[in-house]
A and B are shown apart, each in its own frame.
Chain A
């Protein structure tokens, strides 16, 4: 195995991690993520870098990540319908799925944070000017940690679509925002989950900023009659896939 370079014992100790901890992550580039400069979404105009991105070698800073679970997630944080005295208005649903990496490996202990509008399409945020009513029984934020199989689950109400100022008659399709810390700085992902068959898809520049139609489909949850609970809630499934180990982890770590 001539490809294994010599390393000093000091370096070896420094890089000694748990065996399943990747020392690099696949670089995916523009084929999957939307471009930062996307004219149809007007707010990108002054908020995207114009200089080319500089290649960052993945060092220990990039392949490590924080552990926030215990501090950030409390009992009941995954049920957005039970955070107040009464039931929120709207269609009760469950949203669940698995967090995997690109090798198909379930990622346990990943912090999943969600936030969303209420059933009428209104966010409980100072800056949301949409005239729809706030719901006193709905804050619209939840958190959980993935279990040993990489599973997460939320109970909530289906968010409503809402108008926004991007262009004439602009409406966002119903969506739930997801934030995943991953297990490394390199795995961080913020995205949005949509609902199947939304008539607003073709008009939404944010959804369509993902240029490949097949890739875009990954943002749409699946309705599941099997997971729906009789006389209780409809179920949607949404699996999330984060970057997995890079092709040549050892070489990249040791040069």
Chain B
């Protein structure tokens, strides 16, 4: 230990002047075969859409490989795969969407296999730190059943992390608070 960690502060209401960019919500280049749209609505504790949330996603490619800085875990060979997407709207209505591919299974801690998942950061005015959650996929019931992270979550809350298939991809709503509160993680 030595150097003093810088504390988090809220992203505030005006991040859209700096953080969005045209390709930001694309985790793959447009036109990638198998590309899907993943999105939903962010809700607050009153059940109202949160119009000024920023969503970031990070994930493996369909082979379970990442597009990370150092090729850690084996570098993705999918052309145009960034693995990261940022949805940040200036005049939002509470909905969010990113364009990506469905990830494959990846290794978990201790050599266990993790079900396909996407890591998610949620930022907004009124949130003094990001909230971290994960997207899992409803059409992976077997992989989900043995996933080491899902298994840590009380059964009645697991459903909050399961994205449902849609015509173009998957729907994943995020409830910051309330009866359907999304499971958030201590990372």
Give the interface of A toward B (CB within 8 A): 7-8, 11, 13-18, 21, 27-29, 32-36, 38, 41-51, 53-68, 71-72, 100-104, 109, 113-115, 117, 123-128, 139-143, 177, 179, 183-186, 188-192, 206-207, 209-210, 215-216, 218-219, 240-244, 252-255
Which residues of B lie under 8 Å from residue A18 when comparing CB positions? 70-72
Chain B interfacial residues counted at CB < 8 A: 81
A167 to B128, CA, bound (A): 17
B182 (CB) vs chain A CBs: closest residue: A49
Which residues of A lie under 8 Å from residue B182 when comparing CB positions? 49
Q: Give the contacting residue for A127; candidates B13, B126, B181; CB below 8 A.
A: B13
User: Is the CB–CB distance between A125 and B19 below 8 Å?
Assistant: no
Encode contact with A along B147-176: 1 for CB under 8 Å, 0 otherwise: 011001100010000000000000000001
Rounded to whole Å, the gap between the CB of B84 and the closest CB of chain A is 3
Cβ-closest 9 pairs across A and B: A255-B110, A115-B18, A43-B126, A66-B84, A141-B18, A64-B68, A17-B72, A56-B185, A46-B45
A53 to B187, CA, bound (A): 9
A16 to B70, CA, bound (A): 10
A21 to B106, CA, bound (A): 18
- When A15-B107, A188-B121, A210-B7 are in contact, do A60 and B128 touch as well, CB less than 8 Å? no
- When A48-B127, A61-B119 are in contact, do A177 and B70 touch as well, CB less than 8 Å? no
User: Is the CB–CB distance between A126 and B130 below 8 Å?
Assistant: no
A95 to B186, CA, bound (A): 32
Rounded to whole Å, the gap between the CB of A240 and the closest CB of chain B is 5
Which residues of A lie under 8 Å from residue B152 when comparing CB positions? 54-55
User: Is the CB–CB distance between A59 and B177 below 8 Å?
Assistant: no
